[in-house]
Structure 1
Amino acid sequence: MYNKVTRVSAVQLSAAEVAKHLLKLPNWKYDGKKITREFVLKDFETTWAFLSQVAMRSHLYGHHPTIQTTYNKVRLDLSTHDIQGVSEIDLKLAKKVEGYAAGREKVEGRESNK
């Protein structure tokens, strides 16, 4: 399989622009330099299936998040290092990641299948 990695110049978004975009991504938080989201997934296997999708999409975008994971918990930080802030590519990746998490997150009060 061949996938071409394409990089484009990034433009830093203003805090107001980021806030507007995050209205559609309410679980993401913005600290002025990056957007962050924490996920609690159903189980370990689900976590790694999710992370595999995130890794592949990140590679295709040529844009790699900071990832922290422990068992079924994942924290993703997205920023564009070249501009030391948030760009459209961060928001585009966040939207894709939301799709990958859909149906995989642990629902409060339900035990995961281990």
Structure 2
Amino acid sequence: MSDAADKNVLDDEQITEALAELPGWAHTEGALTFTAKCESAEAAIGLFDKIAAAAENANHHPDVLWSYNEITVDLSSHDVGGVTQRDTRLAKTISGLAEAAGAQVYDGQD
């Protein structure tokens, strides 16, 4: 699935367009960021496992933080220093996994 476009850093306009198709994701500090709130710690661990498997399958490894029932993902292509199409593809996959797990997009407020 990898191609030359995966090495091109997206500009702000391209990232804004991508975010329109990625509800709950934001562009912060050079990465795409998403937090999902699960029913329980066990559900969050299950989602973490699925994200890890998807990342490994894509040969793309995001920063993932597990905190009780929350999973936060930061996606960027470290090899090129920014967000690429590789990141937007994995973000779509992660969104689907979170939705299938019944997780809610978390905005930092209870």
Instruction: Identify the match of residue 19 of structure 1 among 6, 16, 19.
Output: 16
List structure 1 segments (4+ residues) > 3 angstroms apart after TM superposition.
Answer: 6-9
AA matched with 1:90: D
Instruction: Identify the match of residue 37 of structure 2 among 37, 40, 45.
Output: 40
Task: Provide the rounded CA distance (Å) in 2 between the counterparts of 1:88 and 1:106.
Answer: 24
TM-score (structure 1 length as normaliser):
0.82
Where does the alignment leave 5 or more consecutive residues of structure 1 unmatched?
A: 1-5, 108-114
1:81-103 deviation digits (Å, cap 9, x = unpaired): 01110000100000001111114
Contact 1:15 1:32 in 2 (8 A): no
Identity of aligned residues (%): 26
1:13-50 deviation digits (Å, cap 9, x = unpaired): 11100100100112101025111011111111111111
AA matched with 1:70: S
Q: How many residues align?
A: 102
Task: Provide the rounded CA distance (Å) in 1 between the counterparts of 2:52 and 2:2.
Answer: 16
Task: Provide the rounded CA distance (Å) in 2 between the counterparts of 1:32 and 1:55.
Answer: 22
Task: Provide the rounded CA distance (Å) in 2 between the counterparts of 1:70 and 1:32.
Answer: 21
- The two structures, once aligned, show a CA RMSD in angstroms of 1.8
Larger proportion of strand: 2
TM-score (structure 2 length as normaliser):
0.84
1:29-87 deviation digits (Å, cap 9, x = unpaired): 10251110111111111111111110011011111010111110111000000111000
Contact 1:38 1:76 in 2 (8 A): yes
Task: Provide the rounded CA distance (Å) in 1 between the counterparts of 2:85 and 2:37.
Answer: 25
Find the residue that maps to 1:104 and give its secondary structure.
Answer: coil
Contact 1:33 1:79 in 2 (8 A): yes
Find the residue that maps to 1:80 and give its secondary structure.
Answer: coil
Q: Does 1:78 align with 2:72?
A: no
Q: Does 1:104 align with 2:106?
A: no
Larger proportion of helix: 2
